Structure formats: structure tokens, C-alpha cells
Amino acid sequence: MSNEQNRLDFIEQRDGRDAAVVFALRTLRTYRKAVLAKRHPRRHHASLPEYRRSFIESYVVCKRLASLAINVDSSATRAIPDNGKG
């Protein structure tokens, strides 16, 4: 079991399934931006070859949870702040 899966399981046990899905969706957005950031001022270590794979594997774990939770109230996903950065 991956560290990301352990973290999602912990959040689900502590806060419930909906909270874990919201966290997974927020994490998906963050990890995707980090892996794809290649310009110098915004470059994130996740875009470097030695870290890229682990971030992508974590992304897949979060994506799996998000895709299994199609029945989550759509208002929960709207509650994810974007902070105007994307």
C-alpha cells in the first residue's frame, strides 16, 4: 500500500468518505500542476526525473478514489479552493 493510499485511508477514517474525495481532488490538481511545471520560476521538484514517478503514482491513487466516488455531492467539489492560480 502506498503512502498516498495510507493518507487517504486516514482522512476517510477521520473525516469521512466525502472529505477524502475532496482531498483527493485537491491533491490531483496540485500534483498535476507540480509535475507539469517546467518553467524556471514555477518549477517544482515534482517535475524532476527522480521525483516525477512517485508524484505520478500518488496522482493515480488519488484519481482512483475520485473516480470511485462519482456519487459525491457536486457541491463538495465546488468547495475546493483554486486560489486563482490555475
Question: For the residues 12-19, what does the mean pLDDT come to?
Answer: 94
C-alpha angle 36-41-46 in degrees, rounded to nearest 5: 35
Does 55 map to a domain? no
What are the CA-CA distances from residue 73 to residues 56, 70, 79, 84 (Å)? Answer: 26, 8, 11, 23
Looking at per-residue pLDDT, the higher value among 40 and 22 belongs to: 22
Q: Is pLDDT of 52 > 80? A: yes
User: Residue 61: which pLDDT band, with cuts at 50, 70 and 90?
Assistant: very high
Domains contained in the chain, number: 1
Report for 4-13, 49-58, 61-70, 75-84: range of highest mean pLDDT: 4-13
**Domain of 29, in residue numbers:** 1-44
pTM of the model: 0.72
For residue 35, is it within any domain? yes
Judge whether 2 lies within some domain. yes
What confidence category does residue 86 fall into, taking pLDDT thresholds of 50, 70 and 90? very low
